[in-house]
Amino acid sequence: MKSITTYQNKKVLVLGLAKSGVNAARLLHRLGALVTVNDKQDFEANKQAQELLADGIKVITGSHPVALLDEDFTLMVKNPGIPYSNPMVQRAEALHIPIITEPELAYQVSDAHWIGVTGSNGKTTTTTLIGLMLNEGATVGHAYDAGNIGIPVSAVAQKATAADTIVAELSSFQLCGAQTLHPHIAVLTNIYEAHLDYHGDRAHYVAAKMRLTQNQTSADYFVMNWDLPEMHTLAKQSHATIVPFSRQNAAGARATFDGVNLCFDGTPIMPAAELQIPGDHNIENALAAIAAAKLSGVADDAIRTVLRRFTGVKHRIQYVDTVAGHKVYNDSKATNVEAASVAIQAFDQPLILLAGGLDRHLPMTDLLPLIQQHVRAMVTFGETAPLLEAVAEQAGIPATRTANVKTAVPLAFAASQPGDVILLSPAAASWDQYPNFETRGDEFIAAVAHYKKEH
């Protein structure tokens, strides 16, 4: 970690806690800043705030008092989830106080090499694959996954050395606060419609994603999805060397799928059929990871080893087990129709689909064509169960309602035929029954293990 003096005796406001805020506050305190943390959760219920106060950091909780900004702060480190429409943020902007997010702070103190990964979909899988490939082929140093993947970059930056690499998954929310952040390799998996309630419109969303490459030079690399025409235009905004990847074997792409093999610069690395993660989208994720790994000097053997054994990020079309001849997948992360659509299309075999959850009053009918094509039967639960059953009726397939994910598992096996895939892909958030999608997915995995033991 670099011993910077930028924030020595400077007043810094950390707005919002969670993992990123806690780690940013501690890092700034270590750097000698006069840190104030402001979080809206009441102090009595705010364990993180209590711990920071015990560390000697000033804490203000219960609300976001705009008058706090009259204390002459020189910097605001904002939790990525807090929108720029927040009155505290707007007041900071009016006072010309610089506003950054935690990855920017981490970059400022980091000695390590950086690979940054962003995109609407596939960020976590691509980030994970790159880290595994770099470590599989490593002779010196270690690759650390961090960022939006769930590990604060500021915590990793303090231990990563100049021999190490930080593979940072960066959301558009985080990138809005990037100023000096400069990855040697940037990866943009794709761009679709997302988070427009936060960014206001698609142009601002795309601009946030492109901040990943804003400080790159011709000595750096920008890995882009060449199957999306928009990328060809966006590439002109970058000063980096463009490294395209293409599942459709587009002209000019360096990481490609030739219909059989995953290739780099025309040399086959391995057959795509040997991937353990299903779906065209995962071919794209693998190609993006291959490009970053090859640019980092990783050997083909190491890449093959990782891709042949990687069964997916937990809760994201994660292979769970094979039970009574049925492959079982956990896609609890599919908290909306779009994510469930990706999972349903990933399989050639007939599906028994387990779905349901919080009713956000969004149309489930968008799933109808995919359910007609891929799904043999459904097991539903949660608030959206009636909506999904109506779609199943339109599709002409049976649907059984049950209490929850745990009780859905034996019903799914009962509805299946030999060779069917059993897929949990809820198409809805978990909060009607579970605190988060991870808990929902863990319950599914445990229920599958119990069913296997009993049968």
CA angle 289, 290, 292 (to 5 degrees): 65
Q: List, in order, residues 6 or more apart from 279 with CB less than 8 Å away.
A: 317, 342, 343, 345, 346, 347
Q: Quote the strand ranges of 175-309, DSSP E.
A: 185-188, 221-225, 241-246, 255-257, 261-264, 267-271
Domain 104-309: give its CATH architecture.
Answer: 3-Layer(aba) Sandwich (3.40)
pLDDT score for 414: 98
Model confidence over 235-292: pLDDT tens digits? Answer: 999 999 999 999 999 999 999 999 999 999 999 999 999 999 999 999 999 999 999 9
Confidence of residue 194 (pLDDT cuts 50, 70, 90): low
Q: List, in order, residues 6 or more apart from 268 with CB less than 8 Å away.
A: 258, 260, 261, 262
Model confidence over 332-365: pLDDT tens digits? Answer: 999 889 889 999 999 999 999 999 999 988 889 9
DSSP 259-271: SSEEEETTEEEEE
- Sheet containing 34-39: order of strands: 58-61, 34-39, 11-15, 75-78, 99-100
Cα dihedral 291, 296, 299, 304 sign: negative
- Selection from 241, 240, 257 nearest residue 249 by Cα: 257
Other Cβ atoms less than 10 A from the Cβ of 2: the count is 11
Quote the distance between the C-alpha of residue 362 and its chain's center.
22
pLDDT score for 352: 98
279 phi/psi in degrees, rounded to 5: 105, 150
Q: Residue 287 in 3-state DSSP?
A: helix
Provide the CATH topology of domain 11-100.
Answer: Rossmann fold (3.40.50)
Cα dihedral 174, 180, 182, 186 sign: positive
329 phi/psi in degrees, rounded to 5: -130, 140
Q: Is the distance from CB of 145 to CB of 151 less than 8 angstroms? A: yes
Domains 11-100 and 318-454 share a fold: no
- The C-alpha atoms of residue 427 and residue 417 are separated, in whole angstroms, by 23
Only one residue has tokens 């079982």, namely 328
pLDDT score for 192: 81
Could you tell me the CA-to-CA distances from 333 to 48, 364, 425, 430 in Å, in that order? 26, 17, 8, 9
Cα dihedral 305, 306, 308, 309 sign: positive
Average pLDDT, the chain: 96
Model confidence over 202-229: pLDDT tens digits? Answer: 899 999 999 999 999 999 999 999 999 9
Mean pLDDT, residues 28-55: 96
Mean pLDDT, residues 163-184: 97
Q: Residue 129: is its pLDDT beyond 90? A: yes
Q: Residue 184: is its pLDDT beyond 90? A: yes
Model confidence over 404-444: pLDDT tens digits? Answer: 999 999 999 999 999 999 999 999 999 999 999 999 999 99
Q: Is the distance from CB of 53 to CB of 35 less than 8 angstroms? A: no
pLDDT score for 361: 86
**Domain 318-454 of CATH type 3.90.190.20:** yes
Q: Residue 334 in 3-state DSSP?
A: coil
Mean pLDDT, residues 316-332: 95
Q: Residue 89 in 3-state DSSP?
A: helix
Domain ranges of the chain: 11-100, 104-309, 318-454
